[in-house]
Structure 1
Amino acid sequence: MSLADSVLAVNDDLPIRTDKPVHSGKVRSVYWLTEADSKRLIAEKGYDVRADAPLAIMVISDRISAFDCIWHGEEGLQGVPGKGAALNAVSNHWFKLFKQNGLADSHILDIPHPFVWIVQKAKPVKIEAICRQYITGSMWRAYSKGERDFCGIQLPEGLQKDQKLPELLMTPSTKGILTGIPNVPEQDDVNITREDITNNFAAFNFSSIDDVALYEKLLKEGFGVISDALAAINQIFVDTKFEFGYVEDASGNEKLIYMDEVGTPDSSRIWDGAAYKAGKIVENSKEGFRQLLLNHFPDPDILLNKDRMDERSALARDNALPVEVLMQVSKTYIDIAEKITGEKVHLSDNPKAEIIQILREQYGLVD
Structure 2
Amino acid sequence: MSNNFSDQEALDNCITETDIPGLPDPYKGKVREVYELGNNKIGIVVTDRISAFDYIMKQAIPFKGQILNQLAAFSFDKVKDIVATHIIDVPHPNVTIAKKCDPIPIEVVIRGYLTGHAWRTYKSGKRVLCGVNLPEGLKEHDKFPNPILTPATKAKEGHDEDISEAEILSRNIVTPELWHKIREIALKLFKKGTEVAAKQGLILVDTKYEFGLYEGELTLIDEVHTTDSSRYFYKEGYEERQAKGKGQKQLSKEFLREWLMEHNFQGLEGQTLPDLPDEFRMEVFERYAELFEMLTGKEFEPVLEKDINKTLADIFS
Structure-1-length-normalised TM-score: 0.77
8 Å CA contact retained: 2:54, 2:159 = no
8 Å CA contact retained: 2:111, 2:148 = yes
User: Which residue of structure 2 aligns with residue 166 of structure 1?
Assistant: 145
User: Which SS does the other structure have where 1:169 is aligned?
Assistant: strand
User: Which residue of structure 2 aligns with residue 210 of structure 1?
Assistant: 177
CA distance 1:259–1:92, shift in 2 (3 Å): same
Tell me which amino acid in the other structure corresponds to 1:231.
Answer: A
Note the 1:248-263 alignment, pairs <5 A.
248=215, 254-263=216-225
User: Which residue of structure 2 aligns with residue 196 of structure 1?
Assistant: 167
User: Which residue of structure 2 aligns with residue 243 of structure 1?
Assistant: 210
Note the 1:4-15 alignment, pairs <5 A.
5-6=9-10, 7-15=13-21
Percentage identity across paired residues of the two chains: 33
User: Which residue of structure 2 aligns with residue 356 of structure 1?
Assistant: 310
User: Which residue of structure 2 aligns with residue 307 of structure 1?
Assistant: 269
User: Which residue of structure 1 aligns with residue 72 of structure 2?
Assistant: 91
User: Which residue of structure 2 aligns with residue 64 of structure 1?
Assistant: 50
User: Which residue of structure 1 aligns with residue 297 of structure 2?
Assistant: 342
Tell me which amino acid in the other structure corresponds to 2:55.
Answer: C
User: Which SS does the other structure have where 1:26 is aligned?
Assistant: coil
Q: Give the whole-Å Cα distance in 2 for the aligned partners of 1:293 and 1:128.
A: 23
Q: Give the whole-Å Cα distance in 2 for the aligned partners of 1:114 and 1:82.
A: 9
Give how far 1:194 is off: 1.6
Q: Do residues 333 (structure 1) and 288 (structure 2) align?
A: yes
Q: Give the whole-Å Cα distance in 2 for the aligned partners of 1:292 and 1:128.
A: 25
8 Å CA contact retained: 2:121, 2:129 = no
Q: Give the whole-Å Cα distance in 2 for the aligned partners of 1:352 and 1:225.
A: 37
Note the 1:17-96 alignment, pairs <5 A.
17-18=22-23, 20-33=24-37, 38-39=38-39, 53=40, 55-72=41-58, 78-96=59-77
Q: Give the whole-Å Cα distance in 2 for the aligned partners of 1:196 and 1:71.
A: 32
8 Å CA contact retained: 1:11, 1:59 = no
Note the 1:309-324 alignment, pairs <5 A.
311-312=271-272, 315-316=273-274, 319=275, 321-324=276-279
Q: Give the whole-Å Cα distance in 1 for the aligned partners of 2:103 and 2:316.
A: 28
- Which of these two proteins has the greater Rg computed from alpha carbons? 1
User: Which residue of structure 2 aligns with residue 274 of structure 1?
Assistant: 236
Q: Give the whole-Å Cα distance in 2 for the aligned partners of 1:289 and 1:364.
A: 33
User: Which SS does the other structure have where 1:59 is aligned?
Assistant: strand
Tell me which amino acid in the other structure corresponds to 1:63.
Answer: R
Give how far 1:84 is off: 1.1
User: Which SS does the other structure have where 1:304 is aligned?
Assistant: coil
Matched length? 306
User: Which SS does the other structure have where 1:350 is aligned?
Assistant: coil
CA distance 1:11–1:2, shift in 2 (3 Å): farther
8 Å CA contact retained: 1:89, 1:341 = no
Q: Do residues 175 (structure 1) and 161 (structure 2) align?
A: no
User: Which residue of structure 1 aligns with residue 244 of structure 2?
Assistant: none
User: Which SS does the other structure have where 1:85 is aligned?
Assistant: helix
8 Å CA contact retained: 2:111, 2:149 = yes
1:181-226 Cα deviation digits (max 9, x unpaired) = xxxxxx852222222223333xx2x3x4311111001110111101
Q: Do residues 109 (structure 1) and 92 (structure 2) align?
A: no
User: Which SS does the other structure have where 1:147 is aligned?
Assistant: coil
User: Which residue of structure 1 aligns with residue 198 of structure 2?
Assistant: 231
Deviates more, 1:328-337 or 1:22-31: 22-31
Unaligned runs of 5+ in 2: 242-246
CA distance 1:64–1:188, shift in 2 (3 Å): closer
Give how far 1:83 is off: 1.2
CA distance 1:140–1:23, shift in 2 (3 Å): same
Q: Give the whole-Å Cα distance in 2 for the aligned partners of 1:5 and 1:25.
A: 26
8 Å CA contact retained: 1:176, 1:188 = yes
Give how far 1:159 is off: 1.0
CA distance 1:26–1:164, shift in 2 (3 Å): same
Tell me which amino acid in the other structure corresponds to 1:31.
Answer: Y
CA distance 1:356–1:5, shift in 2 (3 Å): farther
CA RMSD of aligned residues (A): 2.2
CA distance 1:170–1:364, shift in 2 (3 Å): closer
Give how far 1:292 is off: 2.2
Structure-2-length-normalised TM-score: 0.89
